[in-house]
Structure 1
Amino acid sequence: MEKGMQQVMPARAQQYTPPAAALPGQHIPHGKWLWRLGRKTLLVERRAVWIGALLLVALMGLSLLAISVGSAKLTPWLALKALLGESTRMVEIMVFKIRLPRVVAVLVAGAAMGLSGCMIQTLVRNRLATPDMVGVNEGATLAITFFTLYLTLGAWPWWAAPLGAVVAAVMLYTLCRNPGEQGYLFVVIGIGVSELMRAVGEFLMSTESIVHVSSVYFWTMGNFVGQGYNVSLPVAGLLVLICPAVMYFSRQLAVLRLGIPTAQSLGVNVNRVQVAILMLAILVAALGTAIGGPVVFIAMAAPIIASFLLKGRVVPLWTAAMLGALLLLLSDTLVRVLADPHEVATGIMTRILGGIMLFIFLLRDKGQAD
């Protein structure tokens, strides 16, 4: 009789299930939401959703503040009116042509750095394994330096960054084929590759005139001065295209945190997944580097803070991306305010913040040990 009643029920009534409700007899883990999209179900970490919402609000507020500060200071309210098209022509030109493009470039680069850092740290299971530590960023920098100095292209060769990053990654993977099991070896080899790439780039710049290399050298320090949409928008578009692949491998990446034997016993093709995640992380890091240069600290700090906020329950890929954008925008805004009226590379401020953060963590660990 129940079967007959189900056949009589309208199709629309059969398909409807409340988004956050469980089916009869289905258990929802503590701290999770169950979202149903047709026949698909998705478990979502509640804490990640709330933290993501807070980070989004913080990004919006800091972006408005970053647009406000500068040589010609604006109030946040005046900047908001300009964004809504309710200000004078002069203010709108200042906001839309000068400050907003730089803010967008910083946000895109920071998100890429945070995401790639989280992928590599989780894969290698080592907090020191970041794109700026293992040679990926330096490989991207070397490629852009070479194309800028020796080929007259008429435009910034941002597209060369993935080429240099892949070369560095091939060297790295050739010398360490099991990054998940040889985390410390991976980091040590990566430092060697990074120093080699940096030395070659500095040699190339030293053979050219100062006038020719001044802009490239300033960019290699991590600089967003004059960055516009011509680089950040294509990079953002490519990152959006890469995100589905990152989402696809995120579940396997979470399983890899349990160890190689456990992942293999659960049916994960470890070698294929490691290579895929490593290549995705390298590509994302290279695209972030292409905008403002090899900025350090962001790819290391963002995943660490994200894991702390989420209590290590999930792989914090998207939280790390948002934190990377927030940290880099904070660094860029600070360096603009503190160095005004001079232009100082944002990478210098990230190094200062990185050193302070490392000092605080060392003091905390020492206090816990005592």
Structure 2
Amino acid sequence: MSDKAKQLPNGYWCLRLGGWSLLLNRRATLLLGLVLLALLATALLALSLGAGSMDAWQALQTLLGQGNQLQQLMLFDIRLPRVLAVMVAGAALGLSGCLVQTLVQNRLATPDMIGVNEGATLAIVFFSLYLTLGSWPWWAAPLGAVLAAACLFSLCRRPGEQGYLFIVVGIALTELFDALSEFAMSSQPIAHLSALYMWSMGHFAGQGYRVVVPVLLCLLVLLPPVALLLRALSVLRLGSDTAQGLGVPVLAVQLSLLALAILIAGLGAAIGGPVIFVGMAAPILASWLLRSGPVPVWLSAALGALLLLLADTLVRVLADPVEMPAGLMTRVLGGVLLLLLLLQNRKRAD
């Protein structure tokens, strides 16, 4: 065994590219690969479901350019935009949920629990109802998320040290923003609200490339800063005092990570509305699968995409031919998960 191999930490691979080297956790890398394979299989299943006969093999052939004109129209213009929208939104929610949970050191701290998603929803509702823009104002969601974060930080300035206060204040802001959104929608004629109301419940039907592509590009721009801050985030798990002693600028890292998490969550909500519990379930499941090691940011993103796609596919099958929001299924599954977490915490306290 070479000296370089001996110096590798146990359970890691070293990827070398010229003068650059990257340490990869073996378990995290293998799990990420398996989840991505499951996501691909679920996407093919989702693409094969719906009006018109097309199995998974035909969907794959059509993706490769071998389908007939009807199959291409059905796949690329109707089904693929929805599947992409669900996966992008789920990945954004899972990623942002992992960042916030790790930062606040509490499993209940997710963008949908601290008012970020509802702030994004309020902005979309406001711009849709009161400004005639001619297109879906997806860009308003990050603005609303930032507004919610500003309100949250004005009431709780140190999320890493005030975890429960951070959550309680966030829940209060969630209810406030939700009430304002419902008040704004209730003041308009019901004939104008069908699409907006369904979107606010987590519905992905009708979302096309005009929204998915710019949101995806914005998310890709935000990923490199997240990657650069991952090491500091791992040190923060040891506590603020320890991280400060190791040279980590705690407040700057906390603010940067929270800002990134808020923008990512806002972009996810811009596509499918304030889908709840995905941002909570994906990081919890990722931590349970990984057991120990690095912060499971990328695994949480992949699991968020998989969970939301499974939920959307499930409601399509159960409610066929009626269209139902995927957010209804995530509420059911998320409620069960929350009860299990509360029961687990009660057993530990006893």
Q: 2:309 aligns with which of 315, 319, 329?
A: 329
Matched-pair identity in %? 58
Partner of 1:29: 9
Structure 1 position 212, deviation (Å) = 1.6
Over 3 Å counting, the alpha-carbon distance change for 1:185 and 1:94 in structure 2 is same
**2: CA distance between counterparts of 1:183 and 1:23?**
44
Instruction: Give per-residue Cα distances to partners, 1:109-161, cap 9 Å, x unaligned.
Output: 00000000000000000000000000000000000100000000000000001
The residue type paired with residue 191 of structure 1 is: I
Instruction: Give per-residue Cα distances to partners, 1:63-107, cap 9 Å, x unaligned.
Output: 000001113242111211211222221111111110011000111
**1: CA distance between counterparts of 2:12 and 2:347?**
35
**2: CA distance between counterparts of 1:261 and 1:187?**
22
Please, which moves more after superposition, 353-362 or 252-261? Answer: 353-362
Is the aligned partner of 1:178 residue 2:158?
yes
Please, which moves more after superposition, 221-230 or 349-358? Answer: 349-358
The answer to whether the Cα contact below 8 Å between 1:22 and 1:28 also exists between their aligned partners in 2 is no
The answer to whether the Cα contact below 8 Å between 1:159 and 1:290 also exists between their aligned partners in 2 is yes
**2: CA distance between counterparts of 1:312 and 1:177?**
29
The answer to whether the Cα contact below 8 Å between 1:71 and 1:340 also exists between their aligned partners in 2 is no
Over 3 Å counting, the alpha-carbon distance change for 1:87 and 1:24 in structure 2 is closer
Structure 1 position 40, deviation (Å) = 2.8
**What TM-score, normalized by structure 2, do the two folds share?**
0.96
Q: For 2:288, what is the secondary structure of its paired residue?
A: helix
Q: 1:203 aligns with which of 183, 190, 199?
A: 183
Partner of 1:14: none
**1: CA distance between counterparts of 2:197 and 2:305?**
24
**2: CA distance between counterparts of 1:201 and 1:113?**
21
**1: CA distance between counterparts of 2:31 and 2:318?**
29
Q: For 2:24, what is the secondary structure of its paired residue?
A: strand
Q: For 1:158, what is the secondary structure of its paired residue?
A: coil
The residue type paired with residue 319 of structure 2 is: A
Report the aligned-residue RMSD.
Answer: 1.7
> Which one has a bigger Cα radius of gyration?
1
Partner of 2:286: 306
**What TM-score, normalized by structure 1, do the two folds share?**
0.91
Structure 1 position 368, deviation (Å) = 8.0
Q: How does 1:285-364 map to 2 (within 5 A)?
A: 285-361=265-341
Partner of 1:264: 244
**Structure 1 unaligned blocks of 5 or more:** 1-20
Over 3 Å counting, the alpha-carbon distance change for 1:297 and 1:43 in structure 2 is same
Is the aligned partner of 1:226 residue 2:231?
no
Structure 1 position 267, deviation (Å) = 0.5
**2: CA distance between counterparts of 1:291 and 1:359?**
28
Q: How does 1:1-370 map to 2 (within 5 A)?
A: 23-24=3-4, 27-361=7-341
**1: CA distance between counterparts of 2:237 and 2:167?**
17
Structure 1 position 23, deviation (Å) = 4.0
Structure 1 position 185, deviation (Å) = 0.4
**1: CA distance between counterparts of 2:66 and 2:319?**
30
Q: For 2:139, what is the secondary structure of its paired residue?
A: helix
The answer to whether the Cα contact below 8 Å between 1:22 and 1:34 also exists between their aligned partners in 2 is no
The residue type paired with residue 167 of structure 2 is: V
